[in-house]
């Protein structure tokens, strides 16, 4: 023990806090390098006892270190560098006092016990019986702000813990799952069992986990891309033989998911450790690093949580405003898995449902503004962060129109921010660099913007000329116009063809040369484009408008059958060029066409909610 440590010990005992507690946690000034949790736990209660050992680097001089920690726990003692320290535990904050000097490493040991168990999905620690299998389970879920409900935490996303250990002592009938590799299992003299989990990969505070129950271990092995050896897939399943037998097929599919995702993204993020699952009656799943906690082994849940190992765990969102990088991407992982293993029809059905969730929130934005980033239910809004988030990522892929470039951009993003954090702007910058294209417009409307486009397309075919009149508005006035590509399928006797058009204005006209007689047009929005699109033939019945003379040499007259109605009149050529546009309430108009180029022209009219068209010829 050196002199500096002894001096620090005496100084810390003399420091007395000037205020009882801070109104908001200030957990700055130190960088956590290592965390070890040594806890006693059981499957019948959320009560835990033990200690948290934290090694940190001081980044600037401090008089106290602040951890977030639930007041439901009693702190028994605090040591700093193995000596007792002054501390105060109040308002869910644990302040440890002393003289902390910049660039010093220090170790804190916090001994505590108590029960902060809750019943909601976002409770930090929960004890509950799985009603279906009559198995009690204790598990943790720290995302986004609940790590403090089971250990003293620095809940700052940018401060990843460099390495960690979770050592859990449980009753003899229990097993305990956590992050990393199982370094040892010891039976104690009182028959309790100690599980020692260890990880050397950086980890965000909310991904530290434990799950305790009467489990059995079912381990299989995957061969991820780029890994010479096999990767263990460790599954802690309730110790009920019939459950394991009925679940094996679904569990075994995890191996296929790992191999597919790792090939797509060129590697598994934690190759020296494992992947795995712990069952718990949580009503969903949580992507705890290397060992997901989940309530079942369904296709979508398993694929979603696994994809988080890349998007969320290896690269973590830099702030909760950037949650799209976690949940939107993991949701898209579901789509990718469906497309690869079940086929395009299943994937398209999934995306169509994702669109329906987005359509249910016409004012919604994927972006979570900072003032809403402390609201758990806004951060994890299923319609926006998950489903719309996946839909716009798919649209980005469609707009890129090159899968090799799109997935290279994803891989470059992962490598650039590997084992760290990233913001949406970081992703945008990476994507632009890889594709060599400016994508700001895309993110301004689809990510930061609100709602989705509502489009009406009217069409008319004159010989080989197909005229399209396109009008769009945003479901939200905050984003009135969107720019995007829209595939249209043209149906004709004996077949169909798909043509992609570009929509980028509130109103536009397009002319397409198409030699076959079109019987119908449909927009392919179910699976690729997040837009509500209506396609209808133009009304050319003549019941609203009479044009004469036709052909017209010098003047053409327009007689409208409805009187005193405000209408918008647009004249376009067969090339799609807008010749003129005006608003009028007159029921009779005359156009001077003496200097117009000979050809066929179409008059398109909008009045109230009615749209119709007629054509005339200049010989």
Extract the runs of DSSP E, i.e. beta strands, from 171-226: 175-177, 181-187, 193-199, 211-213, 215-222
Q: Both 355 and 475 in a single domain?
A: no
Which of the four pLDDT bands, split at 50, 70 and 90, describes residue 12?
very low
Give a yes or no: residue 285 inside a domain: no
Beta-ladder partners of 320: none
Indicate the average pLDDT of the chain: 93
What average pLDDT score do residues 90-94 get?
A: 97
Written as six digits, the tokens of 309 are 């190992």
What average pLDDT score do residues 101-116 get?
A: 97
User: For position 533, which CATH number holds?
Assistant: 2.60.40.1840
Give a yes or no: residue 221 inside a domain: no
Pick the closest to residue 97 from 110, 108, 86, 82 (CA basis). 86
Share of the chain above pLDDT 70, in %: 96
Q: Is the pLDDT of residue 169 over 60?
A: yes
Question: What's the pLDDT tens digit per position in 299-315?
Answer: 999 999 999 999 999 99
Q: Is the pLDDT of residue 339 over 80?
A: yes
What average pLDDT score do residues 50-78 get?
A: 97
Q: Both 367 and 386 in a single domain?
A: yes
Written as six digits, the tokens of 260 are 């597919």
Which of the four pLDDT bands, split at 50, 70 and 90, describes residue 271?
very high
Given this model, what pLDDT does residue 1 score? 40
Q: Both 597 and 481 in a single domain?
A: no
Give a yes or no: residue 421 inside a domain: yes
| Boundary of a domain, candidates 447, 462, 479 | 447
Q: Both 196 and 334 in a single domain?
A: no
Which of the four pLDDT bands, split at 50, 70 and 90, describes residue 18?
very low
Q: Both 396 and 488 in a single domain?
A: no
User: For position 560, which CATH number holds?
Assistant: 2.60.40.3080
Q: Both 8 and 120 in a single domain?
A: yes
Q: Sheet of 73-80: strands edge to edge?
A: 83-84, 73-80, 105-114, 48-58, 30-40, 163-170, 193-199, 181-187
Q: Which residue has the higher pLDDT, 11 or 375?
A: 375
Which of the four pLDDT bands, split at 50, 70 and 90, describes residue 517?
very high
Residue 252 CA to residue 539 CA, distance in Å, equals 57
CB atoms within 10 A of CB 490: 20
Domain span at residue 563 reads 538-619
Q: Is the pLDDT of residue 22 over 80?
A: no
Q: Is the pLDDT of residue 23 over 50?
A: no
Give a yes or no: residue 231 inside a domain: no
Question: What's the pLDDT tens digit per position in 432-454?
Answer: 999 999 999 999 999 999 999 99
Q: Is the pLDDT of residue 15 over 90?
A: no
In contact, 461 and 467? CB cutoff 8 Å: yes
Q: Is the pLDDT of residue 13 over 80?
A: no
Q: Both 585 and 438 in a single domain?
A: no
User: For position 145, which CATH number holds?
Assistant: 2.60.40.1730
The owner of tokens 């486009």 is: 453
Q: Both 77 and 199 in a single domain?
A: yes
What average pLDDT score do residues 409-418 get?
A: 98
Q: Both 114 and 187 in a single domain?
A: yes
Q: Is the pLDDT of residue 3 over 70?
A: no
Centroid of chain to Cα 365: 13
Extract the runs of DSSP E, i.e. beta strands, from 391-452: 420-422
What average pLDDT score do residues 221-228 get?
A: 96
Number of domains the chain contains: 4
Q: Both 474 and 532 in a single domain?
A: yes
* Pair type for strands 532-537 and 453-462: parallel
Give a yes or no: residue 230 inside a domain: no
Given this model, what pLDDT does residue 575 score? 83
Pick the closest to residue 163 from 207, 109, 199 (CA basis). 199
Give a yes or no: residue 255 inside a domain: no
Give a yes or no: residue 172 inside a domain: yes
Give the range among 281-290, 327-336, 482-491, 533-542 with minimum mean pLDDT: 533-542
* Tally of CA atoms within 13 A in the half-sphere of 288 that contains its CB: 27
Q: Both 334 and 388 in a single domain?
A: yes
Written as six digits, the tokens of 301 are 């849940």
Q: Is the pLDDT of residue 327 over 60?
A: yes
Given this model, what pLDDT does residue 24 score? 56
Give a yes or no: residue 50 inside a domain: yes
| Boundary of a domain, candidates 486, 505, 537 | 537
Q: Is the pLDDT of residue 7 over 70?
A: no
* Pair type for strands 181-187 and 193-199: antiparallel
| Boundary of a domain, candidates 447, 463, 494 | 447
Q: Both 456 and 555 in a single domain?
A: no
CA–CA distances in Å: residue 206 to residues 26, 116, 125, 171:
18, 16, 12, 26
Given this model, what pLDDT does residue 527 score? 84
User: For position 400, which CATH number holds?
Assistant: 1.10.390.10
What average pLDDT score do residues 325-331 get?
A: 98
């Amino acid at each position: 023990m050196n002199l500096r440590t002894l001096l620090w010990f005496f100084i810390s005992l003399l420091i007395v806090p000037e205020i009882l507690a801070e109104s908001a946690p200030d957990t700055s000034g130190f960088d956590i390098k290592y965390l070890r949790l040594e806890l006693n736990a059981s499957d019948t209660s959320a009560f835990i006892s033990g200690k948290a050992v934290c090694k940190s680097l001081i980044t600037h001089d401090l008089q106290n270190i602040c951890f977030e920690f639930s007041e439901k726990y009693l702190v028994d003692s605090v040591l700093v560098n193995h000596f007792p320290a002054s501390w105060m535990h109040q308002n869910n904050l644990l302040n440890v006092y002393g003289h902390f000097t910049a660039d010093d490493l220090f170790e804190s040991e916090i001994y505590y016990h108590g029960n902060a168990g809750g019943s909601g999905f976002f409770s930090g620690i929960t004890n509950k019986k799985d009603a279906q299998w009559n198995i009690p389970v204790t598990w943790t879920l720290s995302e986004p702000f609940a790590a403090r409900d089971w250990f003293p935490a620095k809940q700052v996303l940018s401060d990843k813990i460099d390495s960690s250990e979770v050592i859990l002592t449980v009753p003899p009938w229990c097993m305990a799952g956590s992050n990393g590799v199982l370094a040892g299992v010891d039976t104690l003299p009182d028959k309790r069992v100690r599980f020692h989990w260890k990880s050397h990969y950086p980890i965000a505070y909310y991904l530290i986990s434990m799950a305790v129950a009467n489990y059995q271990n079912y381990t299989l092995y995957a061969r991820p891309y780029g890994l010479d050896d096999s990767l263990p897939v460790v599954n802690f399943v309730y110790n009920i033989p019939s459950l394991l037998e009925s679940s094996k097929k679904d569990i075994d599919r995890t191996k296929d998911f790992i191999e597919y995702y790792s090939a797509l993204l060129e590697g598994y993020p934690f190759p020296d450790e494992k992947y795995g699952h712990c069952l718990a009656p949580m009503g969903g799943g949580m992507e705890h690093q290397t060992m997901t906690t989940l309530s079942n082994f369904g296709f979508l849940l398993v694929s979603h949580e696994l994809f988080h190992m890349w998007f969320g765990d290896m690269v973590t969102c830099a702030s909760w405003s950037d949650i799209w990088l976690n949940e939107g991407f993991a949701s898209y992982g579901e789509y990718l898995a469906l497309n690869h293993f079940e086929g395009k029809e299943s994937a398209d059905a999934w995306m169509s449902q994702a669109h329906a969730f987005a359509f249910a929130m016409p004012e919604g934005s994927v972006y979570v503004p900072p003032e809403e980033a402390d609201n758990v239910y806004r951060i994890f809004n299923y319609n926006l962060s998950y489903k719309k988030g996946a839909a716009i990522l798919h649209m980005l892929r469609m707009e890129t129109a090159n899968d090799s470039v799109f997935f290279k951009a994803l891989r470059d993003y992962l490598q650039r921010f590997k084992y760290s954090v990233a913001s949406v702007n970081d992703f945008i910058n990476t994507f632009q660099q890889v594709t060599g294209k400016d994508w700001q417009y895309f993110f301004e409307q689809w990510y930061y913007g609100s709602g989705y486009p509502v489009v009406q397309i009217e069409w008319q075919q004159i010989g080989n000329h197909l005229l399209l009149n396109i009008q769009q508005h945003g479901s939200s006035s905050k984003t009135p116009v969107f720019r995007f590509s829209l595939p249209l399928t043209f149906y004709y006797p004996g077949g169909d063809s798909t043509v992609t058009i570009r929509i980028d204005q509130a109103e536009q006209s397009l002319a397409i040369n198409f030699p076959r007689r079109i019987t119908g047009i449909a927009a392919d929005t179910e699976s690729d484009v997040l837009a509500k699109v209506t396609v209808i033939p133009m009304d050319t019945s003549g019941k609203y408008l009479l044009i004469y003379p036709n052909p017209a040499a010098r003047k053409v007259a327009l007689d409208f059958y409805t009187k005193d109605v405000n209408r918008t009149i647009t004249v376009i050529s067969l090339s799609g060029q807008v010749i003129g546009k005006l608003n009028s309430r007159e029921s009779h108009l005359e156009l001077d066409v003496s200097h117009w180029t000979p050809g066929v022209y179409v008059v398109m009219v909008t009045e109230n909610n009615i749209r119709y068209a007629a054509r005339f010829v200049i010989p």
